[in-house]
Amino acid sequence: MGKKAPGRLDPLGGGGTPGAAEAPGGAYAEADRRRLCEEILADGFVQSFVDFFYLTHRPDPNAEPTPMVDGGAGREIEVPPEEMLYVRDNLTQAENARRQGDTTTVYGAYSNLAQHFQKVKDPKTGVYFYEKCLEISRLTGDKRGEMAANNDLGLIYQGMNDVNSAIKFHERHLELATDGEVPSEENVAAKELIKVYKKVAGTKEGANDHEEAVQYYQKCLEAARLAQEKRSEGMACYRLGRAYIMMEEPLRAISFLEDYEAICKELRDLEGEGQACAAIASAYQMLTNDEKAVEYLDKCLSIASETENLMAQGEANCALGVIHNKRGQYDKAVDCFERNFEIARSSVSGGHGDTSLVDISRVYLGMAKGNAILNQYLHVINHDIKALLVWKTRGTLHTADGAGGGGK
């Protein structure tokens, strides 16, 4: 192994994770870097010298790009002496171990470096070293190491918000675990895939690409079942059901939503159960099965009252009002819309929701009241002719009496 720099440059004694000391500025840091470069070359570690030189001269990953510096790449990173020493030791250890055929040590050194660069918020450099770990494990047929490297790469890409790359590595991790019949690793990979599939599906859903969303929610469901994550399984069933409603496929939606309802009951998740009932009611409304829709909306309203969820109560009352209005049950519709209106006013006055909720609920209530009055009038016209004639006769006699009195 290479010689250690004297005194001040060896605060860790060639050991563990670098400390949090501040980097010295100017020529002081440059002298440390030059001395270490010379030592690495003097000890015959040519590849370590190349890597060390690049790592201690790379652009600062957390600095804003500057047009006048290095073609807009940003200022060069300032590396504390402790970090220089840590990087030097792991690079030379890896190169020395490679010469001796000790791939386990090589893998460990590169993994140390990858984790370090993650900690100092330089994930791209972390990726470089995790890829080296992956390369070594593949060359040596180290399936455990390959699984670990794929998992680490998936996690670091998740942190970089590159979900497509994360999916690629987590799927490879799962494939290796399945082929090698390693249930613990299958579980780890499946749990990470739930997260990335859900994220992609949500993005597709937000872009109204429901067909693509369904594909990723289906993958999410499969991963949740593999990981035996009941809550995640329920979430995927709910999202699939909602997506199928948006695609106007209510029968397929009901199948997944009923699974979600069953899972919520198993987990004693009342809020989720109410959410499932509301969604199932929407699917039955799409099928024009008002009886089933009312049944599930009544369940939803009961659960929302028990959990004191005012928003869910308002939505359930509004949906019930629409159904009753459509069926000509105007008195019931008015009752439901009145409750919806009062809940909307209460929510908005409490700082929850937009004033448009009150405006919309007022319109629904006004229409229902208008329909109720019109219905009473039509009932008289169609079914109570005698009462109508009495009303008409009274009006005529009243007019005639008034006219006669005026003639006298």
pLDDT at 390: 52
Give the pLDDT of residue 6. 34
Residue 397 pLDDT = 45
Reported as half-sphere exposure (CB side, CA atoms, 13 A), residue 45 has a value of 25
What's the 3-state SS for the chain? CCCCCCHHHCCCCCCCCCCCCCCCCHHHHHHHHHHHHHHHHHCCCHHHHHHHHHHCCCECCCCCCCCCCHHHCCCECCCCHHHHHHHHHHHHHHHHHHHCCCHHHHHHHHHHHHHHHHHCCCHHHHHHHHHHHHHHHHHHCCHHHHHHHHHHHHHHHHHCCCHHHHHHHHHHHHHHHHHCCCHHHHHHHHHHHHHHHHHHHHHHHHCCCHHHHHHHHHHHHHHHHHHCCHHHHHHHHHHHHHHHHHCCCHHHHHHHHHHHHHHHHHHCCHHHHHHHHHHHHHHHHHCCCHHHHHHHHHHHHHHHHHCCCHHHHHHHHHHHHHHHHHCCCHHHHHHHHHHHHHHHHHHHHCCCCCHHHHHHHHHHHHHHHHHHHHHHHHHHHHHCHHHHHHHHHHHHHHHHHHHHHHHC
Rounded to two decimals, the pTM is 0.77
- Give the pLDDT of residue 352: 62
- Each residue's pLDDT expressed in tens, for the chain with a length of 408 residues: 444 333 333 333 333 444 433 444 444 567 888 899 999 999 999 999 999 999 998 888 877 655 545 455 567 888 888 899 999 999 999 999 999 999 999 999 999 999 999 999 999 999 999 999 999 999 999 999 999 999 999 999 999 999 999 999 999 999 999 999 999 999 999 999 999 999 999 999 999 999 999 999 999 999 999 999 999 999 999 999 999 999 999 999 999 999 999 999 999 999 999 999 999 999 999 999 999 999 999 999 999 989 988 888 888 888 888 887 777 777 777 777 777 777 767 766 666 665 655 556 666 555 655 554 544 444 444 445 455 455 445 554 444 455 444 443
